């Protein structure tokens, strides 16, 4: 298939591009590089041994999005582009609603007008809020706790209405749990701008000496060791999940929702221990107060994705840490700053 990948220069997008190119798809990337680097696209090309069309375009530029759709005429779109920092979304809600929701509306309008009816959308486990029962199934109540999460829920609902109005659409909403790790080569990985918000990149930066110590946000949660429990999923498993979703959509019209996780949770202290053995370095940490908006526990029931998509995660926590560490060690400052376009 010919696929347009919005946000393809970003963390999850770049890994998914490699998997899709290796599966024989042709891809074009649309990204404004607001949270990513052109170098990531060059490395995707290097890893897959194939050229990728790249359009530096902001989804808020409606005409530019239409131009890309007209030039590329894709068979389908994978839509990663969006802002994702929870704290920033609380401080600047309009920025988040405009970028994520209006950006998606522009994309969907261009798809409709150019008769592109296949979409895979990056949703998030954050739409579940703080569930009462575990593991979390797709029919759990939806109650996101912050503006970022609410943009994801709004986009899900827009897609539901779109498919209700025109059932020829094929839409996959993928709710990711906690993506971590990197490509086995160490050439692409997660490169946060500024201090990382998320656990794994923070630990990796402590291990490599960029930060002094990790703050563990609370050891008094109702979990076995008192620290927060999450369903970490290797980014390459997640990338495979997108290829599986596309295969599924080839045979199924309508809208389909799947959680992508491993089905098992690890605590912060367990992740620290796994990273220490993967890296051979000690991770200095101190117990800090709870982070506002955090939940104690989150893990997926990946059964629906296994049954319907024929997909399941295969890489364990040791592989997630080893691969994140290889990337961090080879690229201690992330991607080099761009010197060319």
Stretch that binds ligand NAD, among 76-84, 130-138, 270-278, 316-324 (CB under 6 A): 76-84
Least distance (Å) between residue 167 CB and ligand NAD: 25
Stretch that binds ligand NAD, among 9-17, 199-207, 225-233, 271-279 (CB under 6 A): 9-17
Binding mask 82-121 for ligand NAD (x = CB under 6 A): xxx--------------x---x------------------
Find the helix or strand (DSSP H, E) in which 56 lies: strand 53-56
DSSP codes joined into one string, 243-273: HHHHHHHHH--EEEEEEES-S--EEHHHHHH
**Nearest residue to ligand UD1, by Cβ distance, number only:** 228
Cis-peptide into 226, omega within 30 deg: no
Both tokens assigned to 219: 């050891």
Least distance (Å) between residue 190 CB and ligand NAD: 7
User: Residue 286: which residues within 8 A CB-CB, separation 6 or more?
Assistant: 213, 214, 215, 216
If the CB atoms of residues 50 and 264 are measured against ligand UD1, the closer one turns out to be: 264
Are 54 and 40 in contact, with CB atoms under 8 Å apart? Answer: no
32 is a site residue for ligand NAD (CB under 6 A): yes
3-state secondary structure of 320: helix
> Where on the chain is the footprint of ligand UD1 (CB under 6 A)?
86, 124-126, 148-149, 178, 197-199, 202, 214-217, 228, 230, 268, 291, 293-294, 298
Q: Which does 99 bind (CB under 5 to 8 A by kind): ligand NAD, ligand UD1, none?
A: ligand NAD
Which of 28, 36, 146, 323 lies at the binding interface for ligand NAD (CB under 6 A)? 36
Are 271 and 228 in contact, with CB atoms under 8 Å apart? Answer: no
Pick the closest to residue 15 from 253, 130, 156, 176 (CA basis).
176
Report how far residue 12's alpha carbon sits from residue 322's, in angstroms, rounded to the nearest whole number: 18
Q: Which does 35 bind (CB under 5 to 8 A by kind): ligand UD1, ligand NAD, none?
A: ligand NAD
Instruction: Name the site residues for ligand NAD (rule: CB under 6 A).
Output: 7, 9-13, 31-36, 58-60, 80-84, 99, 103, 122, 124, 176, 179
């Amino acid at each position: 298939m010919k696929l347009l990948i919005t946000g393809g220069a970003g963390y999850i997008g770049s890994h998914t591009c490699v998997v899709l190119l290796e599966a024989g798809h042709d891809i074009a990337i649309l990204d404004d590089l607001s949270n990513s680097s052109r170098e990531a696209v060059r490395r995707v090309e290097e890893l897959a041994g194939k050229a990728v069309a790249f359009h530096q375009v902001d989804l808020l530029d409606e005409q530019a999005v239409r131009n890309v759709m007209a030039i590329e005429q894709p068979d389908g779109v994978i839509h990663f582009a969006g802002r994702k920092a929870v704290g920033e979304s609380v401080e600047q809600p309009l920025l988040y609603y405009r970028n994520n929701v209006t950006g998606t509306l522009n994309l969907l309008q261009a798809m409709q007008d150019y008769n592109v009816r296949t979409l895979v959308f990056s949703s998030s486990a954050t739409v579940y809020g703080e569930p009462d029962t575990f593991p979390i199934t797709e029919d759990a109540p939806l109650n996101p706790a912050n503006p970022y999460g609410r943009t994801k829920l709004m986009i899900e609902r827009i897609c539901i209405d779109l498919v209700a109005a025109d059932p020829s659409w094929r839409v996959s909403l993928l709710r990711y749990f906690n993506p971590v790790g990197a490509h086995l080569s160490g050439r692409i990985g997660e490169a946060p701008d500024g201090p990382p918000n998320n656990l794994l990149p923070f630990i990796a930066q402590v291990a490599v000496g960029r930060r002094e110590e990790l703050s563990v946000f609370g050891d008094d949660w109702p979990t076995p060791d008192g620290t927060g429990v999450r369903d970490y999923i290797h980014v390459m498993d997640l990338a495979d999940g997108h290829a599986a979703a596309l295969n599924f959509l080839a045979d199924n019209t309508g809208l389909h929702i799947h959680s992508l996780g491993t089905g098992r949770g690890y605590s912060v202290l367990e992740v620290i221990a796994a990273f220490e053995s993967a890296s051979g370095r000690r991770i200095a940490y101190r117990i800090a107060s709870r982070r506002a908006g955090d939940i104690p526990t989150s893990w997926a029931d990946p059964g629906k994705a296994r049954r319907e998509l024929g997909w399941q995660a295969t890489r364990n926590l040791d592989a997630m840490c080893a691969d994140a560490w290889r990337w961090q060690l080879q690229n201690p400052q992330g991607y080099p700053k761009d010197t060319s376009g």
